[in-house]
Amino acid sequence: MSSTNFSLASKVKLSNGKLMPQIQLGLYMMSGREAKAAVRWALAAGYRGFDSAQMYRNEREAGQAIREFLSNNTEGVTRADIFYTSKLASNSTSYQTVRRSIRQSVEACGLGYIDLFLLHSPYGGPEARLTSWKALEDAIEEGEVKSGGVSNYGVRHIEELIASKPRIAPTVNQIEVHPFNTQTDIRAACAKYGIVVEAYAPLARAMRMRHPTIVELSKKYSCTPAQLLVRWSLQHGLVPLPKSAKRERLLENVQVGGFEISDTDMEKMDGLDEKLVTDWDPTDAP
């Protein structure tokens, strides 16, 4: 497949052999009602990956929209075609607390299982991180979850988890990545261990849409700034999670198959790194 052909059908292979959509819809900061509408529109447009979390308080509505689509669609789309992610709100030194929390997420979405479950942050300290991972491993072994991963993990947290010789390796680290915060050290650590990097806030929460370089390159490639930023993520092998609660933007943001950013322009965009944090940055948590 030519690298210019990125679309909602594009997939990446995780280290456990499972396939994951390479462009997914982020459901961060959406009310339950907004999430339900956005998931419905996105499914109709061809999205198959959805990124929720306990903290987002929209697991139930996201799952409901997916279930309704599966029971009514005429295209033969089944549960196996959907990739649904959720995340643990708080790591805990109590194994039972985490196991119970994962089960609650599975029940909330009503999808039978969760495709990817992440530890949302490294907060809580080493014991809580490793205890939470053990609980996640057991949820995977018992079929509640298909793949496990982490989010907002810095290099030290990744090394700590790998050094603990986990029974099941993390498949994903979801971090903030865009040209204004390229996270090269964390991405290198992930590459070393075969961990796929998901990019949240790939549009830098619209904080740099009018940056001269972004404006200039958007004109050059006849695309929107959002499309340019999504395309940058994809060409770096990342899995972007562009978030939009607007129907037209959901469609527009992912129309990135018609152009390819040159190596020179990719380097120019990489050079925009200013360590911009658009929300929180737990990657150096103790």
- Catalytic amino acids? 56, 120
Query: How many Cβ atoms from other residues are within 10 Å of residue 58's Cβ?
Result: 29
Q: Which two tokens stand for residue 29?
A: 């900061």
The amino acid that residue 193 corresponds to is: Y
Following CA atoms 147, 153, 154, 160 in sequence, which dihedral angle do they give, to the nearest 10 degrees? -70
Classify the C-alpha dihedral 141-146-152-156 as positive or negative: positive
Packed helices 59-72 and 32-45: angle between N→C axes, nearest 10 degrees: 30
Helix, strand or coil, per DSSP, at residue 76:
coil
Number of H helices, E strands in the chain: 10, 10
Query: How many Cβ atoms from other residues are within 10 Å of residue 207's Cβ?
Result: 13
Buried b / exposed e along 170-189 (16+ C-beta atoms within 10 A): bbbbbbbbbbbbbbeebbeb
143's torsion region: left (phi>0), alpha (psi -120 to 50) or beta?
A: left
Spatial separation of the C-alpha atoms in residues 3 and 13, rounded to whole Å: 16
